[in-house]
Chains A and B, each alone.
Chain A
């Protein structure tokens, strides 16, 4: 399963990268604030700059493999590019850029449509780089512990922990059942394969639920009272880093306000 591989690799990087020992709160503050500014900015230079900076941080400071990073970027960016080409061709209004005339129909491409497509693509790239910065440097459990420190409703954090765990249980059981089916020649031809998949899907649900209930029983036996207590030994955020990030955010906001929206690659 491709998710299993990518997800596991993302998880591994999150624990082993060079920024793993920085406090999760600092990284969350940085990634989320930059993300919001990047997506809200009207000018096209801001997302471009954000993308460049996050990529540098990830590759130079966190020491993520460049090959893996590009592989992760490739698929979403290719989809975004395709969508943006369509937006440029079909959408927009007002001043036309060119007209394509054929004997059967005339096709108008609008300036605003092309401008919309370019900013959308840059926004997607900038936003993605912020997301990747967050996930490649910070383990999901650290994020959840930080959320609990910030007094996010406990039930929400706990359901997230359980669901996160169950995603991997579900995938693991699916792969085990698939191996068992393979060994018993359950995937030899197309029709048998469909039948096997149906069996797998139905049994997977019940098998995982049963495993979950066993976990629940085990937890209850160890004094589980509806609250998962994990060791909260995350490093605390460093004051100068927080100030630095806030200063940087203000700088980005100033750039996005002062450089008017016309300052773009295409107007």
Chain B
């Protein structure tokens, strides 16, 4: 979903940038709080960041000035909460813009809002609801990550439709962008959901204790082994 450098016309990239900044400041506050209390979480945070980078570098170009790929930020949100996921996504998006010309610095605001804010909030919300409803945790992770991924693309379609109006208005433009994305994104979202379930199980099994110190996911005490 990265919108490429320069693709958004003038009022829009500034607007998304302005929306991004306060949320990032809160995220930076959260991340320094977590790492100060427990410096051992730093490698895990960095790894999840690198994981987001690798996942979202697997891109399929789509003909809307953007492209389709798994996002990885959904899993980060489930583990660390949406604020930290937003910071990790921003760092990753800057690196992708710099190293792969995938996304851009001026469109950073728009890309962070869709991949780092909307996606993680949806994923985290879904995960919380699933946990409250006592749904099986694997299915919860799958649903959270898949929905987070899909909603990321809905957000991108909204951003593109606002910037590129058609004669029939916003809804028409949104439908045009949405259709192009939906074809590639629905299978990808399902694949990413399945991958996330495997990774989540791995993490809980081997790093349960570390995860429970972060405090966003409450694991049953039986799983709090390992470090």
Q: A253 interface residue, CB < 8 Å from B? A: no
A170 & B63 in contact (Cβ 8 Å cutoff):
no
Complex: A139 Cα to B5 Cα, angstroms:
20
Cβ of A103 under 8 Å from chain B: no
Using A131-B101, A163-B91 as known contacts, say yes or no to A206 and B50 having CB atoms under 8 A apart: no
Looking at chain B's contact residues, the main secondary structure is: helix
In the assembly, what is the distance between CA of A220 and CA of B63, in Å? Answer: 48
How far does the Cβ of A9 sit from chain B's closest Cβ, in whole Å? 10
- A116 and B164 contact, CB distance less than 8 A: yes
Does A68 belong to the interface (CB within 8 Å)? no
Rounded to whole Å, the gap between the CB of A163 and the closest CB of chain B is: 4
Indicate whether A140 sits within 8 Å of B6 (C-beta atoms), given known contacts A93-B167, A201-B198, A212-B46. no
Bound together, the chains give a CA A233 to CA B174 distance in angstroms of: 50
The A-B contact count (CB < 8 A) is 189
User: How far is it, in angstroms, between the C-alpha of A134 and the C-alpha of B105 when the chains are bound?
Assistant: 11
Give Cα distance in the complex from A226 to B50, angstroms. 19
Given A124-B6, A202-B199 in contact, is the A83-B63 Cβ separation under 8 Å? Answer: yes
B interface footprint on A130-172 (CB within 8 Å = 1, 0 otherwise): 1110110000100100000000010110111011111101110
For the complex, is B65 an interface residue (Cβ under 8 Å from A)? yes
Residues on the B chain within 8 Å of A54, using CB: none
A132, B54: Cβ atoms under 8 Å? no
Q: Give the contacts of A90-113 with B (CB-CB under 8 A).
A: 90-94, 108, 110
A34 to B166, CA, bound (A): 30
In the complex, what distance in Å separates the CA atom of A3 from the CA atom of B203? 26
Instruction: Encode A71-82 as 1/0 by CB contact (under 8 A) with B.
Output: 010001001101
With contact pairs A124-B4, A126-B6, A155-B35 given, residues A209 and B43 touching in the complex (Cβ less than 8 Å): yes
Q: Is B53 positioned at the interface, with any CB of A under 8 Å from its CB?
A: yes
Q: Which residue on chain B has the smallest CB distance to residue A214?
A: B43
- Say yes or no: B47 contacts A83, CB within 8 Å: no
* Contact present for A208 and B7 (CB under 8 Å): no
A167 and B50: CB pair below 8 A? Answer: yes
User: Which of these, A120, A126, A131, A215, contacts B97 with CB under 8 Å?
Assistant: A131
| In the bound complex, CA of A110 to CA of B173 (Å) | 14
- A219 shortest CB reach to chain B, Å: 10
- How many residues on B have C-beta within 8 angstroms of the other chain's C-beta atoms? 60
Residue B148 CB within 8 A of the other chain: no
Given contacts A7-B100, A127-B5, A155-B31, contact A205 B106 (CB under 8 A): no
B198 touches A38 (CB 8 A): no
B176 to chain A, nearest CB (A): 6
Apart from A3-B99, A38-B6: 17 A-B pairs, beta carbons within 8 A: A40-B10, A80-B4, A83-B63, A84-B65, A86-B64, A120-B65, A123-B7, A124-B4, A125-B6, A131-B104, A134-B98, A155-B28, A159-B45, A163-B46, A163-B95, A167-B50, A205-B47
Binding site for A on B (CB under 8 A): 4-7, 9-10, 13-14, 28, 31-32, 35-36, 39-40, 42-47, 49-51, 53-54, 57, 61, 63-67, 87-88, 91-92, 94-95, 97-101, 104-106, 164-167, 173, 176, 195, 198-199, 202-203, 206-207
A-B contact pairs, 11 of them (CB 8 A): A7-B99, A42-B10, A120-B65, A123-B6, A127-B104, A135-B98, A156-B91, A162-B43, A165-B46, A171-B54, A205-B199
Contacts from A to B (Cβ < 8 Å): 3, 6-7, 10, 32, 35-36, 38-40, 42, 47, 72, 76, 79-80, 82-84, 86-87, 90-94, 108, 110, 116, 119-120, 123-128, 130-132, 134-135, 140, 143, 153, 155-156, 158-160, 162-167, 169-171, 198, 201-202, 205-206, 208-209, 212-213, 215-216, 226
